[in-house]
Amino acid sequence: MSGPLDSVTGALVAKALDVSLATHQTIANNIANASTPGYRPLRVDFEEVMDSMRSALESGGDTDSVRAALGEIDATPVQDPEATSVLLDRQMVWLSKNTTHYQALLRAQSQFGSLMSTAIKGGRG
pLDDT at residue 86 tops 90? yes
Q: Where are the alpha helices (DSSP H) in 33-124?
A: 46-58, 63-71, 88-120
Q: What is the mean pLDDT of residues 85-104?
A: 94
pLDDT at residue 53 tops 90? no
Task: Label residue 39 exposed, middle or buried (CB < 10 Å: 0-12, 13-18, 19+).
Answer: middle
pLDDT-derived band at 82 (thresholds 50, 70, 90) equals: confident
pLDDT-derived band at 6 (thresholds 50, 70, 90) equals: low
CA atoms within 13 A on the CB side of 43: 21
* pTM for this prediction: 0.79
